[in-house]
Structure 1
């Protein structure tokens, strides 16, 4: 467990238009697979596997492990559960 604050993903998205674009493409892919009745675990597993492959091919092992550690911390803190249930549109 680290005393570091979680990364500011919103600020990162604003700083990197490629990240916003990639996120939009992934959202469209998820929507498509959902409409094709692919089960959520299969969708998530495929996306996670693809993401790990991209990270492993472009970052040193220690950096990939740091990303995974941060992801685990986000799950443990409940942050990911909050993200899976975003507020209704028009509400902050």
Structure 2
């Protein structure tokens, strides 16, 4: 399994993101609750990270995610896009 260098985005990140987006869309179409979808994705992601990174590296990823939340970066996802004049 390939281990990515911290700070470098792998070339296939866009493809992986598209696959995850389609999986989310599919689960939403199946009327699966958003919290269930998110919990399953988070659990799967943590399991994958645990198999490919040290505990310290996983903790750093989680701290980075928490810092993004605390900076309000997720609030942008809840706000409707600004309309162009």
Higher relative contact order, chain-length normalized (CA < 8 Å, sep 6+): 2
Structure 2: which 5+ residue stretches go unaligned? 1-6
How far residue 68 of structure 1 moved from its aligned partner, in angstroms, is 0.2
Aligned length: 78
Q: Which residue of 1 aligns with 2:11?
A: 17
Q: Which residue of 1 aligns with 2:63?
A: 69
**Runs of at least 4 residues of structure 1 off by over 4 A?**
none
Q: Give the TM-score normalised by the residue count of structure 2.
A: 0.80
Within 1, Cα distance between the matches of 2:45 and 2:69?
Answer: 17
How far residue 81 of structure 1 moved from its aligned partner, in angstroms, is 1.8
Q: Which residue of 2 aligns with 1:31?
A: 25
